Amino acid sequence: MTFGEIVFILIMLLTLFSALATALTSSMIYALLSLIVTMFGISGLYIFLNAPFIAMMQILIYVGAISVLIVFAVMIAGPHYLHMKAPKGWTGLSKILTALIVPVFTFFVFVNFIMGTCRTDKKLSVITTKDIGRAFFDTYMLPFELISLLIVVSIIGAIMLALFSKGEK
């Protein structure tokens, strides 16, 4: 086994166990910390797939922005939501089975999709970060700006919900 294979297996195991910890823990804070570790692990897997741009976007968007957003949501919700009781019917065994069955099903659907689309003899072109940037600001300029507008509206809505839930108007 090479050093790269050992590092890949360690990152994969770290990602899987932290994802399981996210789904199985009853503490919101521990679930959030496990989710952050999972997102870092996924960015490490993107590095192994030779996609450094996607790995950095994973860290910037998900680890940075989404994690901070979840932390703010936990802070706004208050301390009585930190230890949520599991809904009736969701036992530890059902959580584990769901956490195992869904990825396996997704994997098989993904493999069938890839095998169906890779049967052509077309040459694949290499897409660089420069090409992605040009596509964002040429072809996909309007959707890119609409997503940023949607994010701003969501932030304003979250602030309004927080203010109205505390009785301020």
Give 36-43 contacts, CB < 8 A, sequence gap 24+: 36/63, 36/67, 39/63, 39/66, 39/67, 41/11, 41/12, 41/14, 41/15, 42/15
Same domain for 76 and 29: yes
pTM above 0.85, yes or no: no
DSSP-assigned beta bridge partners for residue 27: 83
Q: Are residues 32 and 51 in the same domain?
A: yes
Whether residue 107 sits in one domain with residue 33: no
Q: Which two tokens stand for residue 28?
A: 């919101």
- At 77 the pLDDT is 73
Residue 50's pLDDT is 86
Which regions of the chain are under pLDDT 70?
A: 78-90, 115-125, 166-169
Does one domain contain both 39 and 101? no
Same domain assignment for residues 8 and 78: yes
pLDDT at residue 164 in the model: 77
- Domains of the chain: total: 3
Question: What is residue 120's predicted lDDT score, i.e. its pLDDT?
Answer: 58
Q: What is the pLDDT of residue 89?
A: 63
56 close to 46: Cβ distance less than 8 angstroms? no
Phi, psi (deg, nearest 5) at residue 49: -85, 5
Q: Classify residue 166 as exposed, middle or buried by CB count within 10 Å of its CB (0-12, 13-18, 19+).
A: exposed
- For the range 124-133, what are the long-range contacts, defined as Cβ-Cβ under 8 Å and sequence gap of 24 or more? 129/53, 132/53
Is the domain of 63 the same as that of 17?
A: yes
Closest to 84 (Cα-Cα) out of 29, 3, 5, 156 = 29
Torsion region of 167: left, alpha or beta (phi above 0 gives left; psi -120 to 50 gives alpha): left
Boundary residue ending a domain (85, 114, 146): 85
Residue 117 belongs to domain spanning: 92-122
